[in-house]
Amino acid sequence: MVKALTDQTFERATAHGVTLTDFWAEWCGPCRMQSPVIEDLDRDLAGKVAISKVDVDHNAATAAKFDIMSIPTLLIKKDGRVVEKLVGLRTKHQLKAVLAKYTTLEETN
């Protein structure tokens, strides 16, 4: 299950390894479409990539810190440093291809 992060837990949870965080809101249609993709990816990449979500309506400080202006936005960090910021709906294949640049994942999975 994808872990929900808050303003208080975000930095610690994304400080090590490769992480993907979905910035979303309940009222956002594309966010609701992105959610099952993120859940599926989380199952596929368990132990390889830490996947989480941040509700921008309840965690505005974190969203502001990373200049999240549109949602869904997917933030990929490696060892605490932002390496990719993807704005808009993405497929599982697209996300795996991006994550493969920072991990030992096979791009074709």
Active-site residue, selected from the candidate residues 5, 18, 20, 31: 31
Instruction: Please give the DSSP secondary-structure letter assigned to residue 55.
Output: E
Q: Who's near 68: CB < 8 A, 6+ residues apart?
A: 23, 56, 75
Q: Which of 34, 23, 18 is nearest to 67 (CA)?
A: 23
Q: Where are the alpha helices (DSSP H) in 9-106?
A: 10-13, 29-44, 60-65, 92-100
- 73-78 and 18-24 as β-strands: parallel, antiparallel, unpaired? antiparallel
| Tally of CB atoms within 10 A around 104 | 7
31 is catalytic: yes
28 is catalytic: yes
Active-site residue, selected from the candidate residues 2, 13, 25, 28: 28
Residues annotated as catalytic are 28, 31
